[in-house]
Structure 1
Amino acid sequence: MKLKKILTLTILLMLTAVGFSQSRKVADRYFEEFSYVQSAKLYKDLVLIKGDSSQHVLTRLAESYYNNSNTEEAEIWYQKLISNFNEKVEEKHLFKYAQALRSNGKYKKSDSIFLRLTQAQKSSLNKELKKENYLLDYTNKEKRIGVRNLAINTPYSEFGGFLLNGKAYFSSSVANDSKKQKLYKWNNQPFLNIYKAEESIQTLEGSKQDTILVLENVQKLGEPIASELHESTPVFTKDGKTIYFTRNNSEGKKVKRSKKNISNLKIYKASYINGYWVNVKELPFNKDEYSTGHPALSPDEKTLYFVSNMPGGYGQSDIYKVEIKGNDEYGEPVNLGSDINTSEKEVFPYVGNDNVLYFSSNGHLGLGLLDIFQAKIKEDGTFLSPENLGYPFNSKKDDFSFFISENGKRGFFSSNREKGKGDDDIYSFFIYTDSPVCTQIVKGVIENNKTNTPVDAVVVKLINKEKEVIAETISDSSGNYTFKDVPCNNTYTVTATKLDHRSNRSIVRTNNKRNKEIIANLKLTPLIIGNQIVIKPIYFDYDKYDIREDAEYELENIVTVMTNHPELVIKIESHTDSRGRRDYNRFLSDKRAKSTRDYILSRGIASNRIESAIGYGEDNPLNDCVDGKKCTEEEYQLNRRSYFYIVEGSESIEIRQEQEKKRINRRFTTRKSNFLEFLSKNLKKTDRSLRPEDNKCFKEKDSDCQNLNKNVKLNYKK
């Protein structure tokens, strides 16, 4: 009896091990084919149902969610992976865990992971993480945007930058020669003042198109704009006759404080008459008990945008707008709402001629602390979702005060990023006319594998060798898709997915020929045809009814369709070949039908959604392999199969497919008709490679540009 128990237990353990192995192989296959939604389901079942918490499964489960941008689930499973295996976890997975945490807003925990990586002496990521913009180097690598730390920057704080009639206006806390100069207690620096400098556009040696922006002859705006307190963030009307700026709340030379003893900020206005600034007055919506500041004008100059911490906002500081009625009359301030404002800080608004609001925030998902975002202003005055401008405009530090010229090719932003000259520095940027990077075009047509007709709204992804999605698009009504600016000399996988279709992929290889077009056409096989869910045949071994690994892989398509369409009810038919007795074959096929049903039910499908699972034996062969005829094994196997008929819910399929199509189209047709789109359109590709001397001008110091070393000595005049 004891021996019998031992044998029974041994057999059960062996069967369990086989089940583990087979399910893991299926999950691995989906993972390796980039089917991360499917692999996530299978790996999760391995953990939660079968208790397989191996390092391999947990890693793949976390990566499945991470690669599908589900950072909440990725965080959970990376955390479990690290908790269970700690020092055995590869650093690349720690890095992804930190990225997921950052994406989920858990910055402190994210930073602790990065700190662990940087402190690991043998870490191959050490240099990558310690250098500037460690998170941002993965974006905009191939864009030629020249960013330079301006010569006007000092060890103090300089920020802003507003171009008007050949002059640039900015704010600085640079010290003057006075021994009695007051210091701002917050940072122990002098109070801010507004300065102007002459704008100079200079061409790089050896290029007729590549230019840089230089500021010279710096002068301080005098009284009545200047005072002993803060003045900053100037904005001008286009005729240069009106200035709006931020100043500490004051009355004459005396500071005014709130009931909480705070010297708040207010917005002031002045007029330029006969060569002098006069009539300085505060705007009527200012209040002593809260701050208003950072003014910005709409392109038509009928709306003033500003920042305030007035009661009733969403966070520490919000962006508002107010109508300019004329004759020093204004409407009521209006909060821009939760699309723009968060529970944190939104500051430094600026509205470009493209009718896009640029602002900085540490509340929106960003790449660092304060990041620069943009949001398109719609005709009704509402906003599209804010987008992060990315590198090189944003870093892991504070980035703010974005300004772009009317032609959209040059501008300023401010940052306290590492390797700067002072507390805050002004950086100029210029969009260059060519790219040093060899790129090609990958394009193709997606067609229905059954009808050879085009398939639209297919999500097409371009994936590199590291299994990272580097580009994503959809097919149009003719089935066409295109990926531009694909780097040369690489191998990529093009994947195509659509609801109720079998996914497909193609391997493409780029060479070193610029602008070459590579064609990668793909066929998609529909999973629903008429009243059937159509998959590849579910084959069984001779005289057996166990679900094979290849069958398990195919049955996942049934599970997916039924999960996507919860109204569906199906029936299953199973068939055998002609070998053996007819009554036994009916018995065997019935077992196979029920094995198929049981597998689908084990994947979480309710039992009432499978009306029946019936075997028909050898009665309906697909070929002439009947009793008395000798056939090949392949011919016999063709008759061992299952069918899946839809008996209820078919009317909902087309509705859901159309809804999904609209959702996909909305996702990809929210065009970036603003600065990011401008960057994409204007970074033309030519055959000229970047020269070594050009590289020097991409550094963030003026001295790196040949023939532009003017050794400018700043002389700040009152």
Structure 2
Amino acid sequence: MFKKYLLFFLFLSTLPSVLFAQERVINRANDKYEEYSFKPAIDIYKKVYEKGFESPDLLKRLGNAYYFNAEYKEAAPIYKLLLDKYDSIITPDYVFRYAQALKTIGEYEEARSAMERFAKLTNDTALVKRLSEDYLKVIEENSGRYDLQNFPYNSKYSDFAPSFYKEGLIFSSDRDTGNFARYRHTWNAKDFLDLYKVDVQGLSENKVFKIDALETATQNADLTETETERLPKKKNRINSRFHESTSVVTKDGKTMYFTRNNFLDGKKYKDEAGTTRLKIYQATMIDGTWTNITELPFNSDSYSVAHPALSPDEKMLYFASDMPGSFGESDIFKVQIMGDGTFGTPVNLGATINTNARETFPFVTQKDILYFASDGHLGLGGLDVFATKIAFDEYDQPVVNVGKPINSPYDDFTFIIDEETSEGYFASNRLDGMGEDDIYAFKETSPLRLDCRQQVTGTVRDRISNELLVSAKVNIIDENNMEVNSVMTNEKGEYILELDCNQGNFVRASMEGYIPSEEYLPKSYGKPQIVDFYLERDVVSGGFGDDLAKLLQLSTIYFDLNKYDIRPDAEVEIQKVIAAMEKYPSLKIKVNAHTDSRGNDDYNLWLSEKRAAATVDYMIAKGIAIDRLESEGYGEQKLLNECENGVRCSAEKHQLNRRSEFIILD
């Protein structure tokens, strides 16, 4: 598992020596530490510490050396001492590692307290919310859905990163295959990681082959001269003198994406700090061999890009990176694969998926479920496997821990599954394994129930007037006719709600004086929905003598001075009255028309009668039966303001009196 931490981008800072009498010893330990040789570093730091030489830097290094070497039981008390004695100078990452170490050894209550402290130090409100819930209970509810089996091809070394390939798998291993010692890594004197392939159906007689072997021949077979010539040259093979790990192959078997140290054409490259970063490379299958190895254009010598995964349509590549714009030590990103084989610009999947810790090893299923490993989301300890829905190119659905026995107090990662067979594989460094990391096969016995939250937004309006309705109620009613959520529209007539999209729901809008309206939303993958409501007035609630225009909240019907023809603005409002009468066939109305005070009384009475009759004639012409309409003119008898005879008023005030009303008849 030591190499795995290299793949997680744990690049540690240099510690100045502060122990004078032990300076030479500490410097030697620091050198080992900087080389990720944690075992030798632990031995030296421990001896110095046991002799009574203590400093925050020494405790940091000793705690980290234990932690990164998966000796969590030893790391926890060192971190505790560091936090208790040197609290004022400790950064949040040490609090986080302390919490992770506690979880790994089963001290969950103490781990929760440490995580609460970490959330406070980092102002992580999302983590505070998650900690307020009983996350262990949620994990337990998702547990017990997998039957595990030992993977027969594990070794006593490190085996992980399975990926589907033809009838079998490709995986990464540092098993001893005869490499010379000069290629061994300083962490643990084990071989560098290489990619291997195996036929898990047994067709290859349980033999494991290097990925660079010919597809038409086995490594142990005697190759003909022609076949030997077909093998790629060493500089252009997938497996190099350094690490190769995670991989994914396209469905047609012609393209592979894989992770490797920054090494190409026989040369190794480092960043300014001297660290060899990780990159994703692409290889092409030609005549049974992988060749034409090139690095992807968004790689960098300054940060790591690793652990490729493809979307079901193979138009999107997912990967992990600590590139600028990351939330934590490593985040999940995506990049579009263009039709011409070029790539778009990498995009971070966002704060719902990524945390300020590690998110890595993505895998996407045919049903658009993203599985990934994380120690930033709440789990059982170390890396846990999590899942979330990503359909419709949305990345805001809840993240769910897949539960036991996939997850354990140790590192569990590189999860893959075939949804048609419900069979898959993952890796773990749990204690019952054969090697440092082991691959496990599993059968999913019941599907994972992912939380699915769908956002529904919209407006509520009057159907006739199109006016936005304020304080209308919008509620969610599930298929059992139970109200599960509700909200009132704001001053703009808008609402926003969330519902559980694992089931169908009714969205209902209602308001006093209106007939309720609802729309059914079937279960979905969570794509946001816009549902606008247009409520119809319950005009039956109006009584004899009520003004229909007021019930429908219409604009006033106005006329020009000395005219009775229907103006265009008035026509729009009369159409709304017509729509209401078509909706309610029993509705009868009387049109009352009025004038202003200018002109003599007899003329104004005649003019108002003409206006009322013109309005009725217009409605009859539009299909309203004559026996449902009456009209009457009132002249200047019912003025709305002080503008009577002899009073000087503005044109605007006189306009207010030239109007029609629509009175409901009994």
**Could you tell me the TM-score, scaled by structure 1's length?**
0.42
Higher gyration radius (CA): 2
**Could you tell me the TM-score, scaled by structure 2's length?**
0.45
